[in-house]
Amino acid sequence: MANVICEPCVGVKDAACVAVCPSDCIYEGDDQYYINPDECMDCGACQYECPVEAIFPESDVPGKWQSFIEKNRKFFEG
């Protein structure tokens, strides 16, 4: 998994990340956006554009938001 969208996105869903994503790998869920790890190019464009600083490489997800790694995985299991 390249990048993970975490708690600051919940309820905000700004969509700035969607607009700059060159691989169209960001999908809208009920409460937040999610990045499809199979489609992500790991370019980082979304990270720099996110106004609430919610996007992290999986290896850099802060401890308090580690549950969002699993939440993202489950979103794409469907």
Residue 58 and residue 60: Cα distance in Å, rounded? 5
Q: What is the model's pTM?
A: 0.93
In this predicted structure, the answer to whether residue 1 has a pLDDT above a threshold of 60 is: no
Q: 38-62: b or e for each residue (b if 16 or more CB lie within 10 Å)?
A: eebeeeebbbebbebebbbebeebe
- Domains of the chain, by residue range, sit at 3-67
CATH of domain 3-67: 3.30.70.20
In this predicted structure, the answer to whether residue 17 has a pLDDT above a threshold of 80 is: yes
CA dist list (Å): 34 to 24, 45, 66: 11, 15, 14
Continuous segment of H or E residues that includes residue 71: helix 67-75
How does pLDDT run across 20-60, given as a tens digit for each residue?
999 999 999 999 999 999 999 999 999 999 999 999 999 99
